[in-house]
């Protein structure tokens, strides 16, 4: 049975997850098995292969959850010291930098019975299918070793070179502003949304003031989260950027993704939204 987690990256840094009941039971067994092993139950001299697989599954889920949130501190804490040194991993990461390194994935799955490979070297492998916002599904591999607990010594989804010399991509500033705008839309912060639309946009749609909560609900609807690939924010020409954004609308059991291209213009020393097809007038 596959361990499946799905999430929608959202405005408040959180995520909506759905985990199979069987997966939850399996993870609970990990703690129980560890307690039994510590008490010497059954006279075993060490954990069985099945127990090792259960603990690896728990570690892989914890790490992938941290990546998907994203939670930079939790991710850094699970990396081995050797991996950090070999890949020149910085001592601290911002949320935007982590997204740049890993891309934006909104769900993952793996089958513990088939996708966890134990190796005599102690470098065990977990193969997981990641569901990316822009690229679709990709198969990636985790390498786990015991370093005072399971730690990640390799992850094929990471690209540390994406940080670049200065730590920022050309569209990094526009990306941050777009994320803040999307967060405001999901939070219903109409003052922020209104202030960060271009003057041309306001004139075109005859917007003279921020929307009321009821008005905004009518033009934007109920959004549960969004997906945005950091590397997908493109500078098309000086003072203009664009990005493909996917927003999930609806309620549990009735969710629908809509993908549209958002255009930003640089005005007054900052980036503002000039085209936002998700608004319905």
**Average pLDDT, whole number, for the chain?**
83
Maximum Cα–Cα distance across the chain: 77
Q: Evaluate if residue 162 carries a pLDDT over 90.
A: no
pLDDT of residue 97: 86
pLDDT on residue 90: 92
pLDDT for residue 57 is more than 90: yes
Burial 114-141 (b: 16+ CB within 10 A, else e): ebbeeeeeeebbbbbbbbbbbeeeeebe
Digit-coded pLDDT (tens) for 237-281: 889 999 999 999 987 678 888 999 999 999 988 999 999 999 998
Between helix 172-187 and helix 95-102 the angle, nearest 10°, is 110
* Position 56 pLDDT exceeds 80: yes
The model's pTM is 0.53
Domain ranges of the chain: 3-163, 172-275
Q: Report the percent of the chain where pLDDT is more than 70.
A: 80
DSSP string, 9-25: B-TTS-B-----HHHHH
β-pairing, 150-155 with 136-146?
antiparallel
Rounded Cα distance between 108 and 64, Å, is 8
The CATH number, out of the four listed (3.40.50.11890, 3.90.79.10, 3.50.50.60, 3.10.450.100), of the domain defined by the range 3-163: 3.10.450.100
- Written as six digits, the tokens of 254 are 């009735």
Task: Quick: pLDDT tens for 171-223.
Answer: 788 988 999 999 999 999 999 999 999 999 999 999 999 999 999 999 999 99
Pair 163, 100: CB distance under 8 Å: yes
**CATH code of the region 172-275:** 3.10.450.100
Q: How far apart are alpha carbons 119 and 104 in whole angstroms?
A: 30
Angle at 64 between CA 63 and CA 68, to 5 degrees: 120
8 Å CB contact between 151 and 145: yes
| pLDDT of 5 above 70 | no
CA 122/CA 135 separation, integer angstroms: 32
Among candidate residues 125, 128, 123, 124, the one with its CA nearest the CA of residue 111: 128
- Cα separation, 154 vs 158, in Å, equals 8
* Helix orientation angle between 49-68 and 21-39, rounded to the nearest 10 degrees: 130
User: Quick one: which of 61, 53, 50, 52 has its CA closest to 19?
Assistant: 61
CA distances from 231 to 188, 243, 245, 250 (A): 26, 9, 12, 27
For residue 20, what pLDDT is reported?
Answer: 39
Confidence of residue 2 (pLDDT cuts 50, 70, 90): low
């Amino acid at each position: 049975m596959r361990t499946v987690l799905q999430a929608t990256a959202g405005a408040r840094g959180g995520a909506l997850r759905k985990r199979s009941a069987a997966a939850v039971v399996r993870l609970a067994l990990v703690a129980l098995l560890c307690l039994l092993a510590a008490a010497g139950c059954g006279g075993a001299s060490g954990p069985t292969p099945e127990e090792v697989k259960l603990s690896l599954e728990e570690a892989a889920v914890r790490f992938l959850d941290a990546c998907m949130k994203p939670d930079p501190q939790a991710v850094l804490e699970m990396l081995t010291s050797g991996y950090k040194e070999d890949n020149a991993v910085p001592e601290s990461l911002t949320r935007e930098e982590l997204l740049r390194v890993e891309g934006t994935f909104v769900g993952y799955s793996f089958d513990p019975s088939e996708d966890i490979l134990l190796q005599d070297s102690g470098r065990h492998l977990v193969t997981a299918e990641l569901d990316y916002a822009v690229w679709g599904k990709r198969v990636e591999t985790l390498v786990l070793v015991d370093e005072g607990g399971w730690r990640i010594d390799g992850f094929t989804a990471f690209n540390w070179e994406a940080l670049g010399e200065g730590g920022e991509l050309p569209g990094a500033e526009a990306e941050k502003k777009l994320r803040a705008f999307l967060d405001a839309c999901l939070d219903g912060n109409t003052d922020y949304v209104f202030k960060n639309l271009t003057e041309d946009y306001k004139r075109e749609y005859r917007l003279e003031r921020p929307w009321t909560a009821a008005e905004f609900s009518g033009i934007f609807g109920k959004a549960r989260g969004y997906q945005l690939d950091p590397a997908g924010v493109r500078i098309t020409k000086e003072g203009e950027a664009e990005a493909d954004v996917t927003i999930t609308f609806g309620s549990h059991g009735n969710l629908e993704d809509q993908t549209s291209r958002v255009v930003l213009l640089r005005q007054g020393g900052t980036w503002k939204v000039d085209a936002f097809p998700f608004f319905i007038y």
